[in-house]
């Protein structure tokens, strides 16, 4: 599938935080799947386009124009693995900021659905055996 998305002028840029669980799902998805990945957010009729740790959201009415973009994820800034991940949000429409209240929950739900549907189709991860340490004899 090919889709050309227009990015108009950025109306607002803000820093947001993504829950660690959602970031983990996104990170694993981008490491396993061929990108770009088109992820439907059915509850709000948006489409998330995932390309190399950047997520662009388009509305079902104007599929060629970006509404929001999440980018510059900074997992290295968190204190522990359960801490939220800071990232930047660019809004391309006046109502883009309003969508930020619903998008994180809908995005996480869409990632869960995708993960569940593709779990059985995924090849198992390789296991590398580690050499055993020789035991000291007394």
pLDDT classification of 135: cutoffs 50, 70, 90: low
pTM of whole model > 0.75? Answer: yes
CB neighbours of residue 13 within 10 Å: 11
What DSSP assignment string belongs to 103-119? HHHHHHHHHHHHHHHHT
Q: What's the confidence (pLDDT) of residue 125?
A: 65
Q: What's the confidence (pLDDT) of residue 4?
A: 86
Q: What's the confidence (pLDDT) of residue 129?
A: 79
Q: What's the confidence (pLDDT) of residue 121?
A: 63
Q: What's the confidence (pLDDT) of residue 68?
A: 95
pLDDT, tens only, 55-112: 999 998 888 899 999 999 999 998 899 999 999 999 999 988 888 888 999 999 999 9
């Amino acid at each position: 599938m090919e889709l050309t998305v227009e990015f108009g002028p950025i109306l607002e840029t803000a820093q947001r935080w993504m829950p660690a669980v959602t970031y983990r799902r996104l990170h694993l998805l981008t490491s396993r799947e061929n990108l770009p990945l088109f992820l439907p957010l059915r509850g709000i009729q948006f489409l998330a386009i995932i390309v190399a740790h950047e997520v662009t959201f388009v509305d079902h009415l104007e599929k060629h124009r970006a509404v929001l973009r999440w980018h510059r994820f900074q997992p290295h800034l968190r204190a522990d693995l359960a801490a939220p991940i800071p990232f930047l949000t660019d809004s391309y429409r006046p109502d883009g900021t309003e969508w930020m209240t619903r998008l994180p929950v809908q995005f996480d739900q869409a990632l869960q659905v995708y993960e569940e549907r593709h779990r059985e189709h995924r090849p198992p991860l390789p296991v590398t055996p580690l050499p055993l340490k020789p035991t000291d004899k007394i």
